[in-house]
Structure 1
Amino acid sequence: MPVAVLTLEIRIENAHSLKDRRQVVRSLKEKLQNGFNISVAEMDEAVTWQSATIGVAAISGSRDYLAGLMKQVEDAAVRISNDLGAQVADAWWEYLEN
């Protein structure tokens, strides 16, 4: 059964503290989880206040469904990030199958 994994590199230029960074990351994660049937997690430690890596995973019997879903999630992440004063600097996804 295919699993799609999306990685989002987020730039948070307006974050001046760890609290600012956490607020953006938490809000982005919650909005993506509530809007889609996906798993979302922060993938890196808070090394800098201005960046974060978010991982998204979904499973389905259909690769076509997963491709469409990952595109929708990426588009939503860009929109939500912009609303939060951040931006998606890079995004990529891949299939994992066993």
Structure 2
Amino acid sequence: MASIGVLTLELRMDHAHSLKEKRSVVKGLKERLRQRFNVSVAEIDYQETWQRSVVAAVTVASDHSRASSVLQSVEKEAVALLGPDLVGATLEWLE
């Protein structure tokens, strides 16, 4: 049976002084995660707020361990890219 994992990343960008600056950070993150890990990525909350964002990355795999491995790698990449801008990460499973 397929395993679906959802990694939710909470971002706080105190340095962003406009939606344009925030969207630049979010767009770069989304593109990087899509290219490197073949996951679906979307900004799911705070679209019109300058300094906050919630981004979700989703993967589907034939087994739980593969999906878990992919999403752990996604989280590590997000930490490397965002540093202190990443203030939270939550992993959920839909099985």
TM surpasses 0.5: yes
C-alpha deviation, 1:67, in angstroms: 1.1
Amino acid at match of 1:91: A
| Count of matched residue positions in the alignment of Structure 1 and Structure 2 | 94
Q: Which residue of 1 aligns with 2:59?
A: 58
Aligned mates of 1:79, 1:12 — CA distance in 2:
15
Gaps of 5+ in 1: none
**What corresponds to 1:38 in structure 2?**
39
Give the whole-Å Cα distance in 2 for the aligned partners of 1:7 and 1:67.
Answer: 13
Moved over 4 A (4+): none
What's the TM-score once normalised by structure 1's chain length? Answer: 0.90
Letter in 1 for 2:64: R
The residue type equivalent to 1:79 in the other structure is A
Structure 2: state its 5+ residue gaps: none
CA distance in 2, matches of 1:58, 1:16: 32
Please state which structure has a larger fraction of its residues in strand: 2
Partner of 2:94: 96
Q: Matched residues in 2 for 1:44 and 1:31: separation?
A: 19
1:13-39 Cα distance to aligned partner (Å, 9 max, x none): 110011111100001100111111100
Give, in angstroms, the shift of residue 45 of structure 1: 3.6
Please state whether the residue corresponding to 2:45 is helix, strand or coil. coil
Structure 2 residue aligned with 1:69? 70
Determine what percentage of the aligned residue pairs are the same residue: 38
RMSD: 1.1
CA distance in 1, matches of 2:86, 2:78: 7
Q: CA deviation at 1:46?
A: 2.4
